[in-house]
A and B are shown apart, each in its own frame.
Chain A
């Protein structure tokens, strides 16, 4: 019990004193995840919109695959990325293994299906509203996708935030491909795993508080966005 109180108070001290390691790890986490989120959104959002407006032959299969990919265990994603990036793998020459880039790649693979799937669900509803009008106006497919992405931007932001939450809290895949190297690839989740293993509860708890804080912020943002969406403001 005294251990816990001791850990908590020292964790609190680390936080308020803006401990250098703590700040460095947090910033790296944010940089990796925000980069992954940006790239994943650029892929997933238009793809979700395309799935909503286009009727192509393998549409149902694509959606089923997308949903299945959402449940992919992150560690397995990490393993696959590892195999591709390792020295003997097809992309070995780039020397990306154990770099932040490798972690970004893994996170992109993990959150693209999630973001695309949520985006598709939201935009499908919007499309059933807009369908008749946009067909009647002779819009091109590109214009339809643009219109949906713009008018559905609130729901899409929610999808992106869900992706952020998943990516920032993920540990398995980035541990495998990043290697948790100090001052290089150590991020919030991998650092927590390491510090806990070492019995350094103060640092682990401080990192944990930051992670929890980020998760709460994201959830408040999602809540607020869906709220205003329902009220019909935007």
Chain B
């Protein structure tokens, strides 16, 4: 397997009905670490992640992985801000990504049970996914994204409806994944979480990358007034 990274983003723009959702973005992501995308509501975090993952239309510019596009695509997973629940049991939801790849049913179901246990849904494997609570849905979505052991995992506010304990458990899982080489690119509104997980921070404002750099210097002394205001919890002008 070749390296996916560096990921080069050049002048990338994503529009929807004439409105620029995000961009133009210039960015280079290296092979290691966890990138945390932060910014106010409507700044374009979701749009950026979707554009990088390749499910939002790229209207201008280029996004190049260090390997063929279809291979890159296969090695990524995405956890959506509003998790998508297939109308099946929790177990079948977890097994789905493997079944699509042609994994035999028994094997896929066994891994599904294993991942249900890991994300803390062991008690609910037989429930229809559509009756899960908001937090349980997020856990399911994370398990379903990790079951393919992706090399790149996009997460769009994956812990927004989780309680403190579940958040820590999920962060644990994410940190283990990161330690074993999964590249995480996630957005969050939880600055505590951003500090705990980030090795680099991408601060986005009005669809543009406002600040991008290693996490520690960013949290200790942001370069721009807007980032400082955002970290203080003030209104960002």
Which residues of A are in contact with B by a Cβ distance under 8 Å?
Answer: 126, 129-130, 132-133, 135-139, 143, 147, 151-152, 232-234
Interface centre among A135, A137, A233 (most CB of B within 10 A): A137
Contact indicator B128/A234 (Cβ below 8 Å) = yes
Contact indicator A232/B86 (Cβ below 8 Å) = no
Contact indicator A133/B74 (Cβ below 8 Å) = no
Contacts A136-B53, A136-B55, A137-B100 given: A232-B84 contact, CB under 8 Å?
A: no
Q: A132-B78, A136-B55 are in contact. List 20 more A-B contacts (CB 8 A).
A: A126-B87, A130-B84, A132-B55, A132-B84, A133-B80, A133-B84, A133-B86, A136-B76, A136-B77, A136-B78, A136-B80, A137-B77, A137-B100, A138-B100, A139-B100, A143-B100, A147-B96, A151-B88, A232-B131, A234-B128
Contact indicator B130/A232 (Cβ below 8 Å) = yes
Q: Which one of B73, B80, B100, B128 contacts A132 once the chains associate, using CB atoms below 8 Å?
A: B80
Chain B nearest CB, measured from A229 CB (Å): 9
Contact indicator B86/A135 (Cβ below 8 Å) = no
B97 within 8 A of A: yes
Chain A residue numbers with a CB within 8 Å of B128 are: 232-234
Q: Which residues of chain B in 11-40 are interfacial with respect to chain A, using CB atoms and an 8 Å cutoff? A: none
8 pairs of A and B residues whose beta carbons are closest in the complex: A133-B84, A151-B87, A136-B78, A232-B130, A135-B55, A139-B100, A138-B73, A136-B55
Contact indicator B131/A138 (Cβ below 8 Å) = no
Contacts A136-B78, A232-B130, A233-B128 given: A151-B97 contact, CB under 8 Å?
A: no
Chain B nearest CB, measured from A145 CB (Å): 13
A170 to B161, CA, bound (A): 53
Measured CB to CB, the nearest residue on chain B to A133 is: B84
Interface string of B76-92 (1 = CB under 8 A from A): 11101000101110000
Interface residues of B, CB < 8 Å — how many?
Answer: 18
Contact indicator B84/A138 (Cβ below 8 Å) = no
Tally of A-B residue pairs with Cβ under 8 A? 39
Chain A residue numbers with a CB within 8 Å of B87 are: 126, 151-152, 234
A-B contact pairs, 16 of them (CB 8 A): A130-B84, A130-B86, A132-B84, A136-B76, A136-B80, A137-B77, A137-B97, A137-B100, A139-B100, A143-B100, A147-B86, A147-B96, A151-B88, A152-B87, A232-B131, A234-B128
Contact indicator A129/B84 (Cβ below 8 Å) = yes
Q: Which residues of chain B in 170-206 are interfacial with respect to chain A, using CB atoms and an 8 Å cutoff? A: none
Chain B residue numbers with a CB within 8 Å of A135 are: 55
A232 to B131, CA, bound (A): 7
Chain A residue numbers with a CB within 8 Å of B74 are: 138
Chain A residue numbers with a CB within 8 Å of B88 are: 151
Measured CB to CB, the nearest residue on chain A to B82 is: A132
Chain B residue numbers with a CB within 8 Å of A129 are: 84
A126 to B77, CA, bound (A): 21
Interface string of B38-54 (1 = CB under 8 A from A): 00000000000000010
Chain A nearest CB, measured from B105 CB (Å): 13
Chain A nearest CB, measured from B47 CB (Å): 13
Chain A residue numbers with a CB within 8 Å of B53 are: 136
A199 to B159, CA, bound (A): 74
